[in-house]
Amino acid sequence: MKKTAVLLFVAMFLAVSAVPAYSGEEAGNAKALFESKCGLCHSIERPKSKQKSKEGWEATVMRMKNKNGCPVSDEEAKAIIDYLSEKFGK
């Protein structure tokens, strides 16, 4: 069991390392940012099937970042929240 957890961690680290970092101008492409970062852990169809207020998307994205360990910066999280709010907001 412990070996499986270590292997999973290594696999996630390698996957995250392969994803290009987004900053400044690149963060403007929020759809690609959303797809690459959120798609690391689950299907991007999952969040696209929801409709939430901006506050709801903020709570979800920050939970993924802070509690679940999604590798996004604060700037990237804001871009993803704005994108989700615009495309899948209430």
Q: What are the tens digits of pLDDT across the range 44-79?
A: 999 999 999 999 999 999 999 999 999 999 999 999
pTM, rounded to two decimals: 0.68
Q: What is the DSSP letter of 19?
A: S
Q: Where are the alpha helices (DSSP H) in 1-89?
A: 2-18, 30-38, 45-48, 54-66, 74-88
- CB atoms under 10 Å from CB of 79, counted, come to 23
Give residue-wise pLDDT tens across range 6-49.
Answer: 555 555 555 554 444 444 454 459 999 999 999 999 999 999 99
Structural domain count of the chain: 1
- CB atoms under 10 Å from CB of 50, counted, come to 13
**Predicted local confidence at residue 22, as pLDDT:** 44
Q: Which domain holds residue 27?
A: 2-88
CATH number, position 79: 1.10.760.10
- Cα dist from 48 to 4, 24, 82, 86, whole Å: 30, 25, 14, 12
